[in-house]
Amino acid sequence: MVYGKAEHLKNIAERARTIMERENVEAIVASSCENFYYLSGHPSTFMYTLRMNEVALAVMFRDPSRRTVIIMNEFEAAGVPDDLPQCELRTYPTWVDVDDPLGLRGGRYEGRRPVNHQVEEMFGLLREVLAEYGIRSGKVAVELSGMRYPAVNALREAVRGLDLTEAGGLLAELRACKTPWEVGLLRQSCAYAEIGIAEAIKEIRTGSSAADIADAFRRALLTHADGAPSRFHMISVGAKFAPAHIFDTRPGQPGDVIKFDVGVDVAGYGSDIARTFVLGSPSDTVKRIYGALRAGHDRLLELIEPGLPMSRAFDDAMQVIRRSGLPNYNRGHLGHSAGLSLAAEEAPFLSPAEEAVFVPGMVICLETPYYGYGIGSIMIEDMVLVMDNGCERLNKLPRDLISL
């Protein structure tokens, strides 16, 4: 059987209802671009592209007889596909007028349109939907921590009587294990990122700047219509290791380290991988640092198995790195889940305080980065799929320190 998007959404709904039952939550309301897409199966352009907050809601109910409700302005709702049978669409008016000259929808909005988005309209619809489905009291999980203060106040005013609880942790738990559909997208996004690196390094010469290399990376991806190089690409040359919104144009010199920390977006799912190269021969210091990072990275790959606490993997790998030539190495985490997050990193994390364990179906980014004044950025990062008996590396590029 082909495992497609429909099976993916069914899997999410079943697991979400198990969590809602455990937490005694009547419904989960997603308002961030990632979680709205995750629950509904439809990405909001207003949220993803225009970076607008609180413009759409996806409401999933504990009651399996209830379809997920998408609450969205009528302009954007016109793009919701018909192949989402698990969803019901409710719309509210916005500043954009939508005509119906051919009578295809049976009428048009005649009221006075607002100047911009009004959260009161959206939350009013949420109140109506919840009441219609018999939810006038009890716990409803909402992404409160991701909302702006005025929006939270408007929400509380609209749904008085409900016990609003934070949904962030529940959604992070839900998203941690990937469906086969998600794994396929992450596998493709990883492959595209590696194509970008492999093609870009062919153009690197003495004198190449971070701006030149970033341009080569982006150009390499233009022929892949389903991959957008917009996730992130942090590329550094030489001693400047700080993330840069505008790439450095300083020409690379012999001995400079070149770091790719890049991700490509495929249908909303983003890769996060890293490789390091050197212009010419590396110094003894760079070789020592890289050797320690590689030893720690190798240890992580050896350790991962279902049931292993992520905190234990962190502690073990940190000890290996410190014993291998970097006694003062200090990091808050050595990896994270991969998925929808526009921030590239999402929970759970390989950190000393993490309570999660590795579970089959997780896609994890394993990273051992180093940033040093006078040296620059040195980094190895792979994406792995947790399996029943270990892990599968999604990356194909070698993890050696390669001289160009």
Provide the pLDDT for residue 351: 99
Provide the pLDDT for residue 223: 82
Please, what's the b/e burial string for 207-241 (b: 16 or more CB within 10 A of its CB; e: otherwise)? ebbbbbbbebbeebbeebeebbbebbbbbbbbeeb
Provide the pLDDT for residue 220: 93
Provide the pLDDT for residue 104: 81
User: Residue 338's closest CA among 271, 273, 262, 396?
Assistant: 271
Stated length of the chain? 404
Choice between 93 and 191, residue whose per-residue pLDDT is larger: 191
Provide the pLDDT for residue 375: 98
At 272, the pLDDT band (50, 70, 90 cuts) reads very high
Provide the pLDDT for residue 84: 82
Provide the pLDDT for residue 2: 64
Kindly report the average pLDDT of the chain as a whole number. 94
CA distances (Å), 187 to each of 73, 107, 219, in order?
Answer: 33, 45, 21
Provide the pLDDT for residue 107: 67
Provide the pLDDT for residue 1: 53
Provide the pLDDT for residue 226: 73
Provide the pLDDT for residue 136: 93
How many other CB atoms sit within 10 Å of the CB of residue 72? 27
Residue type at 325 in one-letter notation: G
- pLDDT, one tens digit per residue, over 207-235 is 999 999 999 999 999 887 776 666 889 99
Provide the pLDDT for residue 241: 96
Choice between 300 and 3, residue whose per-residue pLDDT is larger: 300
- pLDDT, one tens digit per residue, over 101-128 is 888 877 667 777 777 778 999 999 999 9
Kindly state the average pLDDT of the residues 127-144: 97
Provide the pLDDT for residue 100: 81
- pLDDT, one tens digit per residue, over 86-100 is 899 999 988 888 888
- Convert 54-79 into a string of H (helix), E (strand) and C (coil): CCEEEEEECCCCCCEEEEEEHHHHCC
The residue with tokens 């992450």 is 186
Provide the pLDDT for residue 4: 87
- pLDDT, one tens digit per residue, over 20-79 is 999 999 999 999 999 999 999 999 999 988 888 889 999 999 999 999 999 999 999 989
Examine the pLDDT at 257 and tell me if it is beyond 70: yes
Kindly state the average pLDDT of the residues 381-388: 99
The proportion of the chain whose per-residue pLDDT surpasses 70, expressed as a percent, equals: 98
Provide the pLDDT for residue 94: 85
Pairing between strand 228-237 and 376-378? unpaired
Q: Would you call the peptide bond into 180 cis, given omega within 30 degrees of 0 as the criterion? A: no
Pairing between strand 390-393 and 163-166? unpaired
Examine the pLDDT at 164 and tell me if it is beyond 60: yes
Provide the pLDDT for residue 211: 98
Kindly state the average pLDDT of the residues 197-207: 97
Read off the tokens for 331.
């990091």
Kindly state the average pLDDT of the residues 139-148: 97
Examine the pLDDT at 262 and tell me if it is beyond 80: yes
At 389, the pLDDT band (50, 70, 90 cuts) reads very high
- pLDDT, one tens digit per residue, over 299-352 is 999 999 999 999 999 999 999 999 999 999 999 999 999 999 998 899 999 999
At 83, the pLDDT band (50, 70, 90 cuts) reads confident
How many other CB atoms sit within 10 Å of the CB of residue 128? 13
